[in-house]
Structure 1
Amino acid sequence: MNAVLFDMDGVLVNSEDYWVEFEREEILPWVVPDQDVDVAEVSGMNFREIYDYLEAEYETAVSREAYVERFSAAAEELYTERVDLLDGAHDLLERLDDEGVPTAVVSSSPHQWIGWVVERFDLEGEFDHVISADDIDAASKPEPDVFEYAADEVGVPAAECVVVEDSENGIEAAARADTVVVAYRIDAHGDIDRSAADAVVDSPAELQGTVLELVA
């Protein structure tokens, strides 16, 4: 394998622990109060596309503007104060750099949110590319568009890219892009379908070992 593409939420930082609870307990009951929506339906999507999805599938009870304002405020607090970086992330990125393997963050989050994480955890310059779904006018995960775009950006065929993902939508998107998918199992997502992944890992150490083995 010739490149490694890391999802941010749930992989590089443990934000999914917070986002899943926020979406389940606050956002979904507020936006679609008369519906019982499984948070797995929207996990991994760009937050603006979550609203579009809910509006199209269920009918929303709040305005897009109010939704964006509430989600954005939660994001700033989350990324600047609450999340933790994946154990061993700096070491893994250094070892990939030493091996000459290009790396990228590939996230459904906006660049501003990614920037908060990069600044807080001293990741500036650690990745060869920082890619947001906002960079392209295409469908969000589980569609493969963002990973196909990322492969083009790093200059490596998708089939030679390792993608590390945690959500069901993200795993499916990476698989549909024909990448090699490492699914990082986290408690926040529970028993989701990870069958599309090429490997499933349960800890930061196992994640690091699997990625390094795939690029060796």
Structure 2
Amino acid sequence: MWQLDCVPKLVIFDCDGVVVDSEPLTSQLIRDDLAARGLPLDLPKIADLFVGGTIAGAGAQAREMGADIPEDWVDLINDKVFAALARKVEPILGIGAVLDHLDHQSIPYAIGSNGPHRKMEITLARCGLAARFAGRIYSREDVAAPKPAPDVYLLAASQAGVAPQDCVVIEDSATGAQAAVAAGMAVFGFARETPRAKFEGLTELLFDDMGQLPALLGLPTE
């Protein structure tokens, strides 16, 4: 198993499913919407197909699978998702303590996400985390290509002045893990909701409880 040789100089978190617990609600809304458009899929299939990607990519794939996806579907589904997240989303259990550990050790951290800034503004504010990541929130909207391209992670590292090899990425999807590997960064797979097999060939360093992360990063825990 790959292990850290030293404490990272930057930790980059994916947002959905890693910092905020938004994936279950988002998947349910997409499932219900696609079913109404002629494409019934169960939640595990929704997660398998779409978690880690972009909403536009999900719409294009659903259209190829036979769903009646209108041209303005991205805006329509985003409106539904954002409204629901503003009411209900909660932080991933233990993420606040992880950030406390990083702050105590003066290790910077950032977010790198395939989601739009508007979504992250809603979820991070609802979870009381917006201020903690202020000025260090990067979206696929900021780069040429979304994950699995490495662009968003390389942008976060560049803005922090940290070399890619000194970064650790925390991801819950194979798409995001591929982006981290392409960026030349170590990646820890958060497997709380993601089947461990999804990370095969990308990372062997997997965990399913955010409380485990400080020790895995080599941070003092007392």
The TM-score with structure 1 as length reference comes to 0.83
- Gaps spanning 5+ residues in structure 1: where? none
Q: Tell me, yes or no, if structure 1 residue 20 matches structure 2 residue 27.
A: yes
Q: CA deviation at 1:129?
A: 0.4
- 1:118-156 deviations in Å (ceiling 9; x for gaps): 222222331250111111122x22222221222212221
Kindly provide the amino acid, as one letter, of the partner of residue 45 in structure 1.
G
Aligned in 2, Cα 1:52/1:99: closer, same or farther, shift over 3 Å?
A: same
Alignment partner, residue 124 of structure 1: 130
**Structure 2 SS opposite 1:178:** coil
Distance in 1 between residues matched to 2:50 and 2:39, nearest whole Å: 16
CA RMSD of aligned residues (A): 2.6
5 Å-filtered alignment, 1:69-108, equals: 69-78=76-85, 80-108=86-114
Shift of 1:28: 4.1
Q: Aligned partners of 1:53 and 1:2: how far apart in 2?
A: 37
User: 1:41 aligned to 2:49?
Assistant: yes
Query: What's the TM-score, normalizing by structure 2?
Result: 0.81
Gaps of 5+ in 2: 1-7
- Matched AA of 2:213: L
Aligned to 2:5: none
Q: Report how far residue 76 of structure 1 moved.
A: 2.4
Matched positions, count? 209
Partner SS for 1:11: coil
**2:205 corresponds to 1:199:** yes
Distance 1:168 1:32, change over 3 A: farther
CA contact (8 A) 2:62 2:69 kept: no
Cα distance in structure 2, aligned partners of 1:63 and 1:74? 17
What secondary structure does 1:193 align onto? helix
Q: 2: distance between equivalents of 1:14 and 1:209?
A: 22
Contact 1:180 1:198 in 2 (8 A): no
Q: Percent identity?
A: 25
1:131·1:150 contact (CA, 8 Å) conserved in 2?
Answer: yes
Matches of 1:137 and 1:171, distance apart in 2: 18
